[in-house]
Amino acid sequence: MISLEKVTRPIKGDIFVPGDKSISHRSIMFGALSKGTTEVTGFLESADCMATIECFKKLGVLIEHSLRPTNGVPTITVHGNGLHGLTAPDSTLYTGNSGTTTRLMSGILAAQPFDSNITGDRSIEQRPMERIIKPLSQMGADISSVMGNGCAPLHIGGGKQLHGINYRSPVASAQVKSCIILAGLYAEGDTVVYEPALSRNHTETMLSSFGADIHNQVARDGSAVAILHPGMPLHGHRVNVPGDISSAAYFIAAALVVPGSELLIRNVGINPTRAGILTVLKQMGADIELVNVNNSQEPSADILVKYSELHGNENHQFIIGGKDIPTMIDELPVVAILAATMDCDTIIKDAAELKIKESNRIDTVVSGLGKMGCSIEATDDGMLIHGGKPLKGADIDSHSDHRLAMSFAIAALTAEGTTRIIDDECVGISYPTFFRDLFSVINR
């Protein structure tokens, strides 16, 4: 348990946040499936990403870890085995709390010549896997839920020849899309995945840089399609991982709610499929500026944030929904914290995916903010937040959900009294040094 108090002086200075989790996962996966060596700088050394490394080591891939002598930046070297060079694991692959590892690895394993089993912690064993079992089965894979409940553990039979499919995903999910695409690397014929909105596109962008023939198309109505033409070998190369915008979001929020604050968050990834929070916060009146923009394949920038009085529209209302949701799904808990400080009603809708994250983030956010004195209601696909009432300190159960723990740490900065967060260690899933970094900027 960790205790936090209201901050009484402005947050000033600058900070680096750890590397992007999505890019870190994929750099290991794609490097392992490539010919040659992939060097990854700025890799996120969190529990989730280390689980991906351990899985590939079990599959026979040599992966080395070092620190750059000049600045101590984590560097991972992956000696790729090529698409057909993985070897049978001697035990069940364990993914910890990582849904990305579980779902994307399943797509790769479905095409291997050997049998495998994959599972994770208690949270992973409650998250829905039918959304990947169905399309992989349509591709010819032998994949099943061991317990018969549509969840992990999963058994994947080897030696199946996969074929490409045209799949219409009912949800905009990067994990589902990426799982199908990775299986499609081994399939006969093209693999096409349709989504109701474009989910984060790191898989498409990064696979292209490794040599795959893949691209996206986005229609006028916002729906999207990813198209993979298999047959191209992957080649290892250098990957520079920018800071994770999901991690930066907590510091953006902190600067926005503490009067007089001005904070520069350096080298953050601003991929448009991930950066919806910046657009939405600017619509709320946030003073946010991008500086030193680098428009590489995975664009990045320094984010300058100044304290702002956030507000709704002329009807004292703000609505978050539709195509914005996939671009900021992981940031919605901390956005709800910000909404609680606004003197208006905020409606978050079209976000039923929040129910199947590490916790049911609709119920857990509503419960936590309710304890802190906010008037808030759960809905079927989001929440209604009646903002403007002063928050008060409370005991908050993180439910072992890293994003919940970090979000309520930000709420604590503006709440009267003491806020205690139960199971604060769960931040190690994505941001092991979060509380150290938070205290470094609020105690300057």
User: Which residues are annotated as catalytic?
Assistant: 330
Three-state secondary structure call for residue 390: coil
The helix (run of H) or strand (run of E) holding residue 182 is helix 174-184
- State the DSSP code for 331: G
Q: How far is CA 118 from CA 48, 100, 139, 147, in A?
A: 15, 13, 19, 13
Q: What is the DSSP string of 245-278?
A: HHHHHHHHHHHHHSTT-EEEEEEEE--TTT-HHH
Residue pair 202/22 in contact by the 8 Å Cβ criterion: yes
State the angle between helix axes of 130-138 and 99-109 in degrees (0 to 180), rounded to the nearest 10.
Answer: 20
Residue pair 26/225 in contact by the 8 Å Cβ criterion: no
Q: Quick one: residue 183, left, alpha or beta (phi over 0 = left, psi -120 to 50 = alpha)?
A: alpha
Strands annotated E in 270-417: 287-294, 300-306, 317-320, 345-348, 375-379, 382-386, 395-397
Return the bridge partners of 163, or none. 188
CA distance 36 to 268: 28
> In Å, how far from its chain's centre is CA 409?
19
CA distance 242 to 157: 36
Residue pair 91/60 in contact by the 8 Å Cβ criterion: no
Cβ atoms within 10 Å, residue 10: 17
CA distance 423 to 430: 14
Q: What is the DSSP string of 208-242?
A: HHHT-EEEEEE-TTS-EEEEEE--PPPB--EEEPP
CA distance 217 to 219: 7
